[in-house]
Amino acid sequence: MNAARPLTMTVDLAELHRRAKNMRRHMLVMARGPGQGYVGQGLGFADTLAALYFHEMHWDPKNLTMDGRDRFVLSTGHYSIALWAVLCEAGVFPLSELPTYGADDSRLAMSTIDTTPGVEMIGGSLGHGLGQAIGMALGERLRGSSARIFCELSDGELQEGSTWEAAMAASHFKLDNLVALVDCNGIQADGAVVLNMEPVADKWRAFGWETREVDGNHMESVLNALSAARVCTQRPQAIVLRTKPGYGIPSLVAREKSHFIRVDPSEWDALAAELERTEVQ
């Protein structure tokens, strides 16, 4: 039944690239305020979020709590900069709010809080997202809704045991309305991934998930994987996304792999200019 869901937006690659680029612009505006932020993770995940929010998901930016909406669960709350960017790009927040990122009383907090419109759960204590997403998927199924749940989680987060408790349960309950988006960007708090999680895709397969592995910064690949995940198989779907932190700004990608990119105040204009002249896939 999920496969029958009509697309809510036209597939237009150029349009999705334009959205992703705008989101990256928004992230630079946000990070410039505090002079730092999880801009690396955000830039790396921008393409997936653009594909989700401007193509795949059934949602309404004017009615964020719409009954029967598809839900995006951001487990890594510190990726909030990416969520604010896509919600802003969709018109949920005005552009003028972007510079408040990380400031006192801002809705655009440095980690997600569910009092901000468009946030489906409080992420950031890693290992929580998938369990809650399973509850949502079970809940929608109980209500007879065809809504789908998309849950982002990261490669570092796979080290949390609760992720695998949840992974076991999702296949047991045959949650084909659940898609895990595993962002493998190769970094965690202490730097490059400290505990080897490879082979990531095989782990998901072993836990009973229909699993695909794609370049998470290649829009068509992401779209194809999302499209394939629509097919009802009585199994949960996992998409392992290989992403590059800082993607879209080559000098940030080339930087030392760091969880928390620090940017010198004098660098922002140059980074913004670099983003403008960089063509992405």
Partner 1 sequence: MNQLRFTKAMGQDEDGAQRATLDAPFGVALTKLGAQRPEIVGLTADLGKYTDIFPFRDAFPNRFMNIGMAEQNLVGVAAGLARTGHVAFATTYGVFATRRAFDFISIGLAHSRLNVKIIAGLPGLTTGYGGTHQAIEDTGLMCMIPDLVVIDPCDATETMAATRAIADYPGPVYMRLLRGKVPIVFDDSYTFEIGKARVLASGTDVGFIATGMMTERAIDAASVLAAQGLSVGVLHVPTLKPLDTEAIASFAANVKCVLTAENHVTRGGLGTMTAEALFDAGVSRPLVRIGLPDRFIECGVVASLQERYGITTGHLIEAAAKAARRL
* Positions that interact with partner 1 (CB under 8 A): 114, 120-122, 125, 127-128, 130-140, 142-143, 161-162, 165-166, 168-169, 172-173
Q: Taking CA 77 as the corner, what is the angle to CA 246 and CA 157, rounded to the nearest 5 degrees?
A: 80
Choose between 140 and 213: whose C-beta lies nearer to partner 1. Answer: 140
Closest CB 149 distance from partner 1, rounded Å: 8
CB of 62 to partner 1, least distance (A): 21
* Token duo for residue 195: 């505990």
Whichever of 51 and 158 has its CB closer to partner 1, that residue is 158
Smallest distance, Å, CB 160 to partner 1?
Answer: 9
Give the nearer residue to partner 1 in terms of CB position, either 27 or 178: 178
Give the nearest distance from C-beta 131 to partner 1 in angstroms: 2
Q: Quick one: 115 or 266, whose CB is closer to partner 1?
A: 115
55 vs 69, beta carbon nearer partner 1? 69
Residue 275 carries which DSSP code? H
Question: To the nearest whole angstrom, how small is the minimum distance from the Cβ of residue 107 to partner 1?
Answer: 16
Residue 251 Cβ, how far from partner 1 at the closest point, in Å?
Answer: 36
Cβ proximity to partner 1: between 170 and 239 the closer is 170
Q: Which residues are paired to 261 by β-bridges?
A: 37
In the complex, the smallest distance separating the C-beta of residue 148 from partner 1, rounded to whole angstroms, is 12
Strand locations in the chain (E): 36-37, 71-74, 149-154, 178-184, 187-188, 191-192, 210-215, 237-242, 261-262
For 78-99, the DSSP string reads: GGHHHHHHHHHHTTSS-GGGGG
Phi-psi region of 27 (alpha: psi -120 to 50; beta: other; left: phi over 0): alpha
Residue 199: is the preceding peptide bond cis (ω within 30°)?
yes
Q: Which residue from 132, 32, 122, 117 is spatially nearest to 79, judged by alpha carbons?
A: 122
181 by DSSP, 3-state: which?
strand
- Smaller CB distance to partner 1: residue 36 or 146? 146
Q: What is the DSSP code string of 10-47?
A: ---HHHHHHHHHHHHHHHHHHHHTTTEESHHHHHHHHH
